[in-house]
A = this chain, B = another copy of it.
Amino acid sequence: MKIVLAQQNYHIGNFSKNTTKIIEAIKKAKSNHADLIVFSEMSICGYPARDFLDFKDFIDKCYASIETIKEHADTIGVIVGAPDRNLRPEGKDLFNAAFFLYEKKVIGVAHKTCLPTYDIFDEYRYFEPAFNWKIISFKGKKIALTICEDIWNLGDNPLYRICPMDELMKQSPDLMINISASPFDYTHDEDRKATVKTNVLKYKLPLIYCNSVGSQTEIIFDGASLVFDKESNLICQMPQFQEAMETLLLNADGTFDAPVIELANALPAKLSTPENFIPELNISQVYEAIILGIKDYFQKMGFSKAILGSSGGIDSAVSIALACEALGKENVFAVLMPSAFSSGHSVLDAEQLSKTLGNSYHKIPIHDIYQSFLSSLKPLFNELPFNVAEENLQARTRGALLMGIANKFGYILLNTSNKSELAVGYGTLYGDMAGGLSLLGDCYKLQVYELAKFINCKREIIPKSIINKAPSAELSPGQKDSDSLPPYPTLDQILYQYIERVQGPSEIKAKGYDSDLVDRILKMVNKNEYKRNQFCPIIRVSPKAFGVGRRLPIVGSYLS
């Protein structure tokens, strides 16, 4: 049986584009005499469609797309993902479904059983778990068709009460197919390989695993679809971060007519979230994920040009380099906005960066506008001492300038804040926290340095002086981050324990960190939830990013 995996990038709600893309792949597979083509989870409408799923019209359009695609599933079997209405009286109104199309008919529908409802996932918000499990017979093969999380309910402490593959095994299938929309983080590639292989070892059946690719606002789907034979040999591993199609010949005995790919270990260790923060972990994947995140955001939003503030610091330098790589240097506009507190080398470094990258840039000193704010506020501020109010006015002047240019020329403002400063609230709402998309908001400061090293690995794009200087917001005379924050190696480790590892104060202190420091940092994190709540989407690269996957009360009094 000739089986094609179509690892595609969908646009949520763009039915005509998604349907066309699916039909083109079917035509290609048919011209190659394939028996079956497999698309990923929710390929019809894109994933996650969120509350669009509440609209009858949206679901109708999903069915209409399946009708259109069905006509092309004549001599070839087609597996696509879409919502399916729950016709029983009880339970939620929809299932998360895989439709098996053949001979212009729907010959089987599988409903997802394990509905992830944690981190970025909200599936129980929309879907009812499957009521029953049926293998689908196709060209003499009995296929156990499951959806994403359905094959992740393993181990001694399973998250769900029912394991759908256990149910399907009662009907003696020959082959497992799983369609997924499984998002990237820097631990996930290994984790996924381990999980898929564990299923093969458990059920002793070949497994075809087709994942989607592409960025959906903040969530990056990285593809990396997999095929294992029944002997648990890895037969196919599709590329990360790009669309691809792969054809495989499945023999009658459950082997594949393809060479075995050597895995580094017999069974890759489940990486999960490392116990301690490793800034350089899979940094090339993190880089590629951010590039894809930028590209897709602009393309799917219908924009081409970006604007960024360029301070001469490491965060803006890395952000501008990433934007140039993703969008092309001709589409990136950097704005230098020095103040009286900016050091001379900051401006020179920022200019050098854009000269090296070749993107256009422009300098607007903020002195006059800032003074104008101060004069207007003088009757109220009187002789009160300079404090955070004046610092923020500088940042907000920059934010307003960047947004003004963006509005005038139709650019998107890209935000350059990193995860460390977002965590502790070291940023100005409507100032340096402005922007439509955050590139580095899921990278701690130490990871930003690793990205800089990675960007510079072939030639010096980011000036060494930017990498070597002490971090500073340059909002008051001689200011350094270290004046008000602990050193980043300490700060990042403590933040990682709290955010990614979900450790409480006593557990973090037990790791040897200073008790007062831990309390102070956790308090800063919790007190600044109100700021992050108004922040733009952050390209997600870690197992726990700020934003849709981390939901904390703003008004609370826990550790704060």
Chain A interface residues toward B at CB < 8 A: 11-14, 17, 46, 48-52, 54-58, 60, 89-92, 117-118, 122, 124-125, 156-161, 215-217, 296-297, 300-301, 362, 364-366, 368-369, 371-373, 375-377, 379-381, 384, 387-390, 392-393, 396-397, 399-401, 403-405, 407-408, 429-430, 434, 436, 502, 504-507, 530, 533-537, 548, 550-560
If A51-B550, A369-B376 are given as contacts, then 11 extra A-B residue pairs at C-beta distance below 8 Å, sorted by A number, are A11-B555, A12-B557, A13-B557, A13-B560, A90-B161, A122-B125, A301-B555, A381-B408, A389-B405, A392-B407, A530-B536
When the two chains form their complex, are residues B373 and A557 in contact, meaning their CB atoms are under 8 A apart?
no
What separation, in Å, do the CA atoms of A12 and B506 have in the docked complex? 20
What separation, in Å, do the CA atoms of A58 and B14 have in the docked complex? 42
When the two chains form their complex, are residues A555 and B217 in contact, meaning their CB atoms are under 8 A apart?
yes
When the two chains form their complex, are residues B505 and A57 in contact, meaning their CB atoms are under 8 A apart?
yes
Residues of B with C-beta under 8 A to A55: 502, 504
When the two chains form their complex, are residues A368 and B376 in contact, meaning their CB atoms are under 8 A apart?
yes
What separation, in Å, do the CA atoms of A408 and B393 have in the docked complex? 11
Q: How far is the CB of A431 from chain B (nearest CB, A)?
A: 8
What separation, in Å, do the CA atoms of A272 and B108 have in the docked complex? 37
When the two chains form their complex, are residues B389 and A404 in contact, meaning their CB atoms are under 8 A apart?
yes
What separation, in Å, do the CA atoms of A557 and B58 have in the docked complex? 11
Residues of B with C-beta under 8 A to A392: 403-404, 407
Q: List 27 A-B contacts (CB under 8 A).
A: A12-B557, A13-B553, A13-B559, A46-B553, A49-B553, A49-B556, A50-B553, A51-B552, A52-B553, A57-B504, A58-B558, A122-B551, A125-B551, A362-B379, A365-B376, A366-B376, A368-B376, A369-B369, A369-B376, A377-B404, A380-B408, A381-B408, A388-B407, A397-B400, A530-B536, A534-B534, A534-B535
When the two chains form their complex, are residues B377 and A368 in contact, meaning their CB atoms are under 8 A apart?
no
Q: How far is the CB of A34 from chain B (nearest CB, A)?
A: 29
Residues of B with C-beta under 8 A to A300: 555-557
Partner of A553, one of B159, B217, B380, B396: B217
When the two chains form their complex, are residues A52 and B91 in contact, meaning their CB atoms are under 8 A apart?
no
Q: How far is the CB of A518 from chain B (nearest CB, A)?
A: 12
